[in-house]
């Protein structure tokens, strides 16, 4: 067995590997950059080695530094996690030369499956279903247009060395094909150092389903069921689950057998994932094989009862797989939500900063894989993932219910996050029904995400909570000492809760177990019995309302209260009935007109400025390109105009809402 494992990675995946290694009694070594000196994975390891500056290109991606860290620490094995060097055959070569065990597949598998063109040819030869397309390298934009016309639009342009949604563009016509080729090439260059692009037919209304395989050095290859990863945004997975609500047993077996055939074709050893795309008729086609552990591996672990990291370690140590295909069973259902530091209300722009408050949910069937802690920082240098939230249930609906409740309990402040969006997806009727495609988010949120789009089973719950919380504040105010005699504060019991343009009358009565809240709102009048032991200042309002357990995140604002519940973000004011009548007749101040300015929608690097002062631009014309978290974001004109002034230069780091240019 291996004696000391160095994880050539950071964040939650490093912590995840350390947890299994420690369970197995294996010593652990972390590596860290300047930005990660105080990171959780550094604290969790038995020892840690510094490897350089914050930029991954100068630390986590430098092979020589990782090798030296192994030699300095005496590590006899390396687990690469995912990303960084996990699918780099040169890294595998360097470890072999140094006599260090790589916890992953061999060079042949990494190289052949890491190239999407080569992998598709191998898959075809192994009898795996493949998508029609052009598997040679596309020379330029004109060549891309020529090929796409032959295949027939829509097409998918993909970086041959790509992954994680980078270097991928869907083109519906010639114009989008030309632009997509440029964007995909630039992202491929910056992310992978490889500009090769290929093109294949884009399957409309597709489902993304992947098979987990595991193989050892003794010729044993098995598959451990599938994962449904159809809920994606910009080709990056948002929610994953196992098993898939779409597959039948026959299709599952066929996909599994083809995946194992592909693994055998490249002498695969260790954990790997074969990704497929499936159409509405359950026809499925090979996409790619990821020769590493996947981000979403926990859902497979929960439904199979297997520790995939432990299996990887044992295979790397030369052991046989401890189970056969007949031993693999799928029990229950698991969901995973990727919690990111991003703002879903601002087109999912990345967010960085300190986690001022951070509390993970707990409970039956709840698992959190994270690499952060309260007081830690989310750095601009790396992926914005905060954690993976995983729930398990006896069936799909129970797994969903536990996920919704866990998201309500997940408390994060200091950076923007996507928890509201994740919960909105979870409670969406179409998701609950399992009617999924990779276009789900684009179909259901075509104009982006906002609280008005959230489907709530009882929209009155938030209003009831506001009434109860405000009543508690009022009662506390009435108990303050040294009040002026004759002018003591008397807690009223009747209020008007204002949310947007809607007003709801609320009356609150103290009961033995909590409060009786009577609500008169646009959808009708009702009484709600609120049972709670909540105290002022607590961020989570946990209560039983009319027999149903709820958890609502509550915080005070200058104007009133902000609540987060079941994906909805609600800003509410509480007024006296008299004040509410006055407010109804007040003029609303219009926000400042910023339509003359191009603002940076995210913190990032201005990599391209496509216009000059005095230039006339047309609606839809590209103005600038901002790079954030290794993704290029093209900013285009929303109307015709003339550039009056330019406030930023290429290469400048921009803040959110920083002015790039102004129109006449």
Other CB atoms within a 10 A radius of the CB of residue 638 amount to: 11
For residues 99 and 55, what is the distance between their CA atoms, to the nearest angstrom? 28
* Cα-based angle 331, 332, 334 (whole degrees, multiple of 5): 120
| DSSP bridge pairs for 78 | 6, 102
Per-residue burial over 275-290, b if 16 or more Cβ lie within 10 Å, else e, is bbbbeeeeebbbbbbb
Beta strands in 146-254 (DSSP E): 155-163, 166-171, 197-201, 207-215, 221-233, 236-242
Whats the size of the chain, residue-wise?
664
- What are the tokens at 116? 């999407």
Q: Are 77 and 53 in contact (CB under 8 A)?
A: no
Q: Phi and psi for 47 in degrees, rounded to 5?
A: -150, 165
Other CB atoms within a 10 A radius of the CB of residue 257 amount to: 15
Nearest to 598, CA basis, from 626, 623, 633, 619: 623
CA dihedral 243→247→248→252, nearest 10 degrees, is -70
For residues 284 and 425, what is the distance between their CA atoms, to the nearest angstrom? 25
Q: How would you classify residue 628: left for phi > 0, otherwise alpha for psi between -120 and 50, otherwise beta? A: beta
Is it true that the peptide bond before 499 is cis, omega within 30 degrees of 0? no
| DSSP bridge pairs for 134 | 199
Other CB atoms within a 10 A radius of the CB of residue 73 amount to: 20
For residues 178 and 175, what is the distance between their CA atoms, to the nearest angstrom? 5
SS3 content of the chain, % helix, strand, coil (to 5): 30, 35, 35
Point out the residues that are catalytic: 288
- What are the tokens at 567? 């994906």
Q: What DSSP assignment string belongs to 3-69?
A: -EEEES--HHHHHHHHHHHHHTT-EEEEEEEGGGTT-HHHHHSSEEEEEE-SSGGGTTT-HHHHHHH
**How far apart, in Å, do the first and last CA atoms of the chain sit?**
70
Kind of pairing between the strands at 47-52 and 27-33: parallel
Other CB atoms within a 10 A radius of the CB of residue 116 amount to: 22
| DSSP bridge pairs for 568 | 565
Q: Which residue has the tokens 């722009």?
A: 349
Per-residue burial over 299-320, b if 16 or more Cβ lie within 10 Å, else e, is bbbbbbebbbbebbbbbbbeee
For residues 342 and 415, what is the distance between their CA atoms, to the nearest angstrom? 8
Nearest to 469, CA basis, from 387, 581, 395, 557: 557
Q: Are 172 and 121 in contact (CB under 8 A)?
A: no
Q: Phi and psi for 333 in degrees, rounded to 5?
A: -145, 145
């Amino acid at each position: 067995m291996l004696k000391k494992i160095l994880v050539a990675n950071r964040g939650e995946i490093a912590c995840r590997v350390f947890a299994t290694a420690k369970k197995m009694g294996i010593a652990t070594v972390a590596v860290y950059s300047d930005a990660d000196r105080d990171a959780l994975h550094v604290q969790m390891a038995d020892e840690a080695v510094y490897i350089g500056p914050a930029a991954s290109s100068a630390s986590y991606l430098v092979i020589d530094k990782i090798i030296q860290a192994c030699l300095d620490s005496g590590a006899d094995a390396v687990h690469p996690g995912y990303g960084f060097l996990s699918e780099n055959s040169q890294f595998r070569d360097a470890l072999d030369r140094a006599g260090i065990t790589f916890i992953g597949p061999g060079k042949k598998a990494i190289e052949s499956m890491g190239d999407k063109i080569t992998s598709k040819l191998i898959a075809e030869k192994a009898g795996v279903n493949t998508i029609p397309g052009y598997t040679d390298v596309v020379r330029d934009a004109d060549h891309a247009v020529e090929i796409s016309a032959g295949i027939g639009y829509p097409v998918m342009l993909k970086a041959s060395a790509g992954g994680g949604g980078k270097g991928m563009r869907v083109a519906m016509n010639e114009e989008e094909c030309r632009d997509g080729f440029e964007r995909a090439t630039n992202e491929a260059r910056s992310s992978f150092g490889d500009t090769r692009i290929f093109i294949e037919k884009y399957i409309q209304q597709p489902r993304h389903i992947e098979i987990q395989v595991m193989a050892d050095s003794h010729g044993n290859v098995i598959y451990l069921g599938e994962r449904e990863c159809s809920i994606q945004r910009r080709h990056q997975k948002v929610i994953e689950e196992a098993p898939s609500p779409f597959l039948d047993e026959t299709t599952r077996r066929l996909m599994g057998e083809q995946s194992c055939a592909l693994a055998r074709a490249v002498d695969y050893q260790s954990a790997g994932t074969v990704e497929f795309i499936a159409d509405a008729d359950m026809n499925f086609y090979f996409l790619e094989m990821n020769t590493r552990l996947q981000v979403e591996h926990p859902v497979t672990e929960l439904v199979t009862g297997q520790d995939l990291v432990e299996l990887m370690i044992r295979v790397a140590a030369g052991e046989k797989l401890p189970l056969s295909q007949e031993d693999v069973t799928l029990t229950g259902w698991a969901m995973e939500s990727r919690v990111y530091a991003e703002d879903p209300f601002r087109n999912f722009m990345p967010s960085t900063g300190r986690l001022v408050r951070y509390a993970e949910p707990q409970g039956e069937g709840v698992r959190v894989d994270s690499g952060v802690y309260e007081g830690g920082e989310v750095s601009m240098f790396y992926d914005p993932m905060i954690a993976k939230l995983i729930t398990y249930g006896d069936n799909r609906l129970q797994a969903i219910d536990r996920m919704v409740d866990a998201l309500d309990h997940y408390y994060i402040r200091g950076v923007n996050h996507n928890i509201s969006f994740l919960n909105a997806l979870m409670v969406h009727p179409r998701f609950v029904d399992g009617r999924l495609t990779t276009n789900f988010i684009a179909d259901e949120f075509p104009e982006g995400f906002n609280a008005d789009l959230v489907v709530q089973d009882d929209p009155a719950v938030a209003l009831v909570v506001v009434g109860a919380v405000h009543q508690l504040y009022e009662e506390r105010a009435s108990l303050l000492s040294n009040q002026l005699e004759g002018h003591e504060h008397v807690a009223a019991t009747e209020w008007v809760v204002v949310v947007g343009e809607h007003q709801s009358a609320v009356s609150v009565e103290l009961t033995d177990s909590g409060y009786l809240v009577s609500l008169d709102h646009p959808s009708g009048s009702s009484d709600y019995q609120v049972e709670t032991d909540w105290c002022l200042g607590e961020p989570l309002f946990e209560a039983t309302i009319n027999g149903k357990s709820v958890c609502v995140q509550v915080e005070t604002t200058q104007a009133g209260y902000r609540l987060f519940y079941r994906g909805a973000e609600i800003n509410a004011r509480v007024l006296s009935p008299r004040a509410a009548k006055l407010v109804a007749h007040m003029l609303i101040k219009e926000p400042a007109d910023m339509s003359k300015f191009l603002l940076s929608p995210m913190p990032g690097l201005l990599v391209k400025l496509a216009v000059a002062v005095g230039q006339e631009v047309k609606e839809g014309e590209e103005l600038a390109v901002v790079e954030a978290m290794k993704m290029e974001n093209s900013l285009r004109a929303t109307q015709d105009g003339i550039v009056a002034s330019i406030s930023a230069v290429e290469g400048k780091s921009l803040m959110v809402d920083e002015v790039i240019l102004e129109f006449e």
